[in-house]
């Protein structure tokens, strides 16, 4: 069974850093419980400008599609849009170099 890693990047728009990380913890717990992502820990890193990135592993080649049809996950993602702006990973501060580095602030 194939899995895929995904790097998601965000710019906080509301709430505190702690609230966003707490949301990521809830989101990953739900995605795991619903079978969409693996049990692999997902590191959360922060750039010097406060942007956040998270690396997670989808559980199968159809998991992302399944998650986009899961009402519980969709409700979470609606809340997420209030907390963060989705950005391309290339826009992260420090992303423009080979071997970009950021500080890990949590594992969820």
Please give the model's pTM, rounded to 2 decimal places.
0.89
Residue 3 predicted with pLDDT over 90 = no
4-107: in CATH 3.40.50.2300: no
Mean pLDDT of the chain: 93
- Mean pLDDT of the 22-29 span: 96
Instruction: Supply 84's token pair.
Output: 């963060």
What per-residue confidence (pLDDT) applies to 1? 63
What DSSP assignment string belongs to the chain? ---EEEEEEEEE-SS-HHHHHHHHHHHHHHHHHTTSB-SS--EEEE-TTS-EEEEEEESSTTHHHHHTT-HHHHHHHHHHHHHEEEE-GGGSTTTTSTT---EEEEE-
Residue 4 predicted with pLDDT over 90 = no
Q: Cα separation of 44 and 24, whole Å?
A: 9
The residue ranges of every structural domain in the chain are 4-107
What are 31-55's pLDDT values in tens digits? 999 999 999 999 999 999 999 999 9
């Amino acid at each position: 069974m194939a899995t895929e890693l995904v790097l998601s990047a965000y710019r906080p728009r509301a709430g505190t850093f702690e609230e966003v990380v707490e949301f990521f913890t809830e989101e990953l717990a739900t995605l795991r419980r619903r079978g969409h992502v693996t049990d692999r820990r997902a590191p959360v890193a922060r750039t010097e400008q406060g942007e956040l990135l998270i690396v997670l592993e989808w559980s199968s080649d159809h998991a992302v599609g399944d998650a986009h049809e899961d009402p519980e996950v969709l409700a979470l993602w609606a809340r997420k849009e209030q907390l963060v702006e989705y950005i391309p990973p290339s826009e992260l501060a420090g992303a423009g170099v080979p071997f970009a580095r950021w500080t890990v602030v949590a594992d969820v």
